[in-house]
């Protein structure tokens, strides 16, 4: 049995009267690329924010590494948030918050920019870059933290196909570096290209957690079946 990364035990999240996540249990294994699919408003983003710790569950608990400490992790959002400073300083800032000593920050930031091919832009102000370039900076900033798991919330939703392909390539490189991936997408082609496993979320519940080949061949849950037929009729 593979090493567990994160286990959700009867996780529930309610905002006021509305329950957005209903007693969800899930176990993700380390080193896998898990893509979260589901219709709009199903609770995919909420689920990921719970896992990352941006919001606190109303009930239930999250167990890391089968009971160990919370591993280093990072998250990349649909719209990259760039600070009003240079690309290099954006990466260094994340390292500073992570407690990396000042002497190491610059070298580590430069190294990661080199690896994602952004060295020529290192001294440019981050906010004047294109959307695709900013998202690559966001990925570099996340990768610089040497995360064990990287959460991505529709990272290519506002990018053109070329920039999306580059972002996908980087996600694959980061995964090959030994980082588990948990990513929300609406793009089935992207799921097919990137995923090892699919988690399907509908109306605040996980209806299935299936390896990618099985999912597209024969989804186990009725909801995923509907979703796939609906999506495929458009593609």
Partner 1 sequence: MSTITESFITAGTLIAEADGKLLSIVGLSLQVSLTAVFLAACLGLPIGAAVAVGRFPGRKPLTVILNGMMGLPPVVIGLLVYLLLSRAGPLGPLGLLFTPTAMVLAQVVLITPIIAALSRQIVADAWRDYEEQLRSLGASTPRAALTLLVDTRFSLSTAVLAGLGRAVAEVGAVMIVGGNIDGVTRVMTTSIALETSKGDLPLALALGFILISIVLILNALAHALREWAARRHG
* Among residues 21, 37, 51, 75, the one that binds partner 1 under rule CB under 8 A: 75
For partner 1, the binding residues in 95-124 under the rule CB under 8 A are 97-98
Task: Tell me whether residue 85 or residue 226 sits nearer to partner 1 (CB atom).
Answer: 85
93 touches partner 1 by CB under 8 A? yes
Task: Tell me whether residue 21 or residue 198 sits nearer to partner 1 (CB atom).
Answer: 21
Task: List residues bridging with 23 in a β-sheet.
Answer: none
For the bound state, the minimum distance from the C-beta of residue 69 to partner 1, rounded and expressed in Å, comes to: 14
For the bound state, the minimum distance from the C-beta of residue 59 to partner 1, rounded and expressed in Å, comes to: 22
Given a contact cutoff of 8 angstroms between Cβ atoms, the answer to whether 174 and 155 are in contact is: no
For partner 1, the binding residues in 45-64 under the rule CB under 8 A are 49, 52, 54
Given a contact cutoff of 8 angstroms between Cβ atoms, the answer to whether 94 and 137 are in contact is: no
213 touches partner 1 by CB under 8 A? no
Map residues 150-189 to x or -, x wherever contact with partner 1 holds by CB under 8 A.
----------------------------------------
Burial of 184 (0-12, 13-18, 19+ CB in 10 A): buried
Task: Tell me whether residue 44 or residue 209 sits nearer to partner 1 (CB atom).
Answer: 44
Contact residues toward partner 1 (CB under 8 A) are 49, 52, 54, 74-75, 77, 81-85, 93-94, 97-98, 125-128
């Amino acid at each position: 049995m593979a090493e567990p990364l994160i286990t959700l035990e009867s996780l529930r999240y309610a905002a006021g009267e509305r329950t957005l996540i209903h007693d969800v249990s899930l176990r993700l294994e380390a080193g896998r690329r898990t893509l979260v699919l589901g219709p709009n408003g199903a609770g995919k983003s909420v689920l990921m924010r719970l896992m990352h710790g941006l919001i606190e569950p109303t009930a239930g608990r999250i167990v890391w590494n089968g009971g160990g400490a919370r591993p280093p992790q990072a998250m990349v959002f649909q719209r990259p948030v760039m600070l009003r400073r240079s690309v290099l300083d954006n990466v260094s800032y994340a390292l500073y918050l992570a407690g990396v000593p000042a002497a190491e920050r610059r070298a580590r930031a430069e190294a990661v920019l080199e690896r994602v091919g952004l060295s020529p832009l290192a001294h440019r102000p981050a906010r004047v870059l294109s959307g695709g370039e900013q998202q690559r900076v966001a990925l570099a900033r996340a990768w610089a933290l040497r995360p064990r798991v990287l959460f991505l919330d529709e990272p290519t939703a506002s990018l053109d196909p070329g920039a999306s392909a580059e972002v996908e390539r980087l996600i694959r490189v980061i995964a090959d570096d030994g980082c588990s991936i948990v990513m929300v997408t609406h793009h089935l082609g992207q799921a097919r290209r990137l995923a090892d496993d699919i988690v399907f979320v509908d109306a605040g519940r996980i209806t299935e957690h299936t390896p990618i080949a099985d999912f597209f061949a024969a989804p186990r849950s009725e909801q995923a079946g509907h979703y796939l037929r609906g999506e495929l009729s458009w593609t």
